[in-house]
Amino acid sequence: MLMNVKAVLNIPGTEVPVDCAVSPERLETVTQIHGYRFVSPLTLKGVIRNRAGVATLQAQVACTLELTCDRCLKPFTRDFCYEGSHVIVRNLDNADEDDADMDDYVIARAESIDTDEIAVSDLVLELPSKMLCREDCKGLCPVCGADRNEVDCGHMSE
């Protein structure tokens, strides 16, 4: 969803609340996050503030995902919630927009920002690389394939 931020960019001291959601159906079409099943909408809640001519977005991204454990292959559901902030700029002079340092900046093209894109990017950058049903998951036995969380097959003690 495009959000016009012209007033915040132009008037120091201005604050605008941000509260939006990206539906699970819409999230299925986003290529950055294929492989995840969203149980709830991806929400972005926060505030955009202009302090001394610098506009910042401070927000929280939250969702619930249905996942498969990378160790034992069991399905599970987990809530994720991350906080972050970005500086909103009209453009970046002498900067490559694909640069890794760009994560802290949001470019307001035509004085608007895409809240869906921000929410998805923030989530993708914060999700763990390995999804586990629980921190101490023992996984599957490499010999017989038994779930080592449920049974001691004896293969790992040999």
Number of structural domains in the chain: 1
Q: Write down the pLDDT at residue 158.
A: 47
**Tens of pLDDT along 55-103?**
999 999 999 999 999 999 999 999 999 999 999 998 877 655 555 456 6
For residue 73, the number of C-alpha atoms closer than 13 Å in the C-beta half-sphere is 6
Q: Write down the pLDDT at residue 100.
A: 46
Q: What does pLDDT average to over the chain? A: 88
State how far the alpha carbon of 153 is from the alpha carbons of 21, 134, 140, 144, 148, in Å. Answer: 46, 20, 10, 8, 7
The residue range of the domain holding 86 is 2-157
Assess whether pLDDT exceeds 60 at residue 122.
yes
pTM: 0.81
